Amino acid sequence: MLRSLTSAISGLQSFQQQMDVIGNNVANVNTTAFKSARVELADAFSQTLQSSSAGSGGNSGTPGMQIGCGVVIQAINNIYSQGALARTGVGTDLAVSGSGYFVVRNTLDNNTYVTRAGDFRVDQAGYLVTNGGLRVQGYSDAALSTMGDIVIDTTGMPPSAPPAPSMVSFAISVDGKINVSLSNGSQFVRGQILMQNFTDPQGLMKESNNLYSGIGAAGPLGGAASPTPAPPGTNGMGTIQAGALELSNVDLASEFTNLITTQRAYQANARVITTSDEMLQELVNLKR
């Protein structure tokens, strides 16, 4: 059979998967903190018809002759560039300006994930959680010494004369500290949101709901054995912008351009299959 058939089929398969990636990018153009992906193509192995040889004396060397066998997808990489920040005015909406990820914990299975999406809320127990109920991690005490679930209440407030003051409001600073304002006019730091950073973010795995797993494989702060988050603004991480959300980094103009080129490449490979079939048909008709 003609090699062009298998080469063109590999092209159809690869460009179909590339179209799937583009479609997913476009579908998530309005997803909070979504990171777009791109397909990296590479040529498949080549069949060697003649090996190259070096020249000697007055003789020239001979070049090698190879015929490629198509294309393969080498990688599907996420693009972790910063998305635009949009002001929301909601105090629990947090955006990361720069590098870094929020750390959240699933209380049902105790698994830990990271996310760039800071559309958080405070639940009925006072915990800062994602829309899916995962608890944001950081220093959970007023002394900023104990790692755990971030809770916003009056625990750890300075001593005061009775009656005990109540919490009036809270604000989150650029370094992640949660400043609680009390009814007696005083303030105190209830805790601090910590973030994680990675040397190889391509090792992260998307888990839906804007979550990433594979923390150990991505080279986290503290090492794969014991990942240790750090305060925002340290270890090369960005700062937290309260009352804002990071938008998707999908560039629609680029995606539509890739859509067109991928479609044309798919059509070209389909035409190669049609032409190869016509050549085989002519070969079969030789017997007539």
pLDDT at 216 over 90: yes
pLDDT at 1: 58
Q: For residues 44 and 56, which has the higher predicted lDDT (pLDDT)? A: 44
Interval 64-93: pLDDT, tens: 888 888 999 999 999 999 999 999 999 999
How far is C-alpha 192 from the chain's CA centre? 24
Domain boundaries, the chain: 3-48+65-80+250-285, 85-246
How far is C-alpha 181 from the chain's CA centre? 36
pLDDT at 193 over 70: yes
pLDDT band at 50 (very low <50, low <70, confident <90, very high): confident
Q: What is the DSSP string of the chain?
A: --HHHHHHHHHHHHHHHHHHHHHHHHHTTTSTT---EEEEEEE--EEEEE--B--BTTBPPB--EEEE--EEEEEEEE--PPPPEEE---TTBEEEESS-EEEEE-TTT--EEEES--B-EE-TTSBEE-TTSPEEEEE-STTS--EEE-B-SSTTPPP-SSSPP-EEEEEE-TT-EEEEEETTS-EEEEEEE-EE-BS-GGG-EE-STT-EE-TGGG-BTT-SSS---B-TTSTT--EEEETEEEPP---HHHHHHHHHHHHHHHHHHHHHHHHHHHHHHHHHHTT-
Q: What average pLDDT does the segment 192-216 reach? A: 96
pLDDT at 97 over 90: yes
pLDDT at 53 over 90: no
Distance CA 131, CA 115 (A): 12
Q: For residues 63 and 18, which has the higher predicted lDDT (pLDDT)? A: 18
CB 7 within 8 A of CB 270: no
How far is C-alpha 116 from the chain's CA centre? 8
pTM of the entire predicted model: 0.88
CB 265 within 8 A of CB 15: yes
Interval 127-175: pLDDT, tens: 999 999 999 999 999 999 999 999 999 999 998 878 889 999 999 999 9
Interval 225-271: pLDDT, tens: 999 999 999 999 999 999 999 999 999 999 999 999 999 999 999 99
pLDDT at 45: 84
Distance CA 239, CA 232 (A): 5
Q: What average pLDDT does the segment 102-129 reach? A: 96
pLDDT band at 60 (very low <50, low <70, confident <90, very high): confident
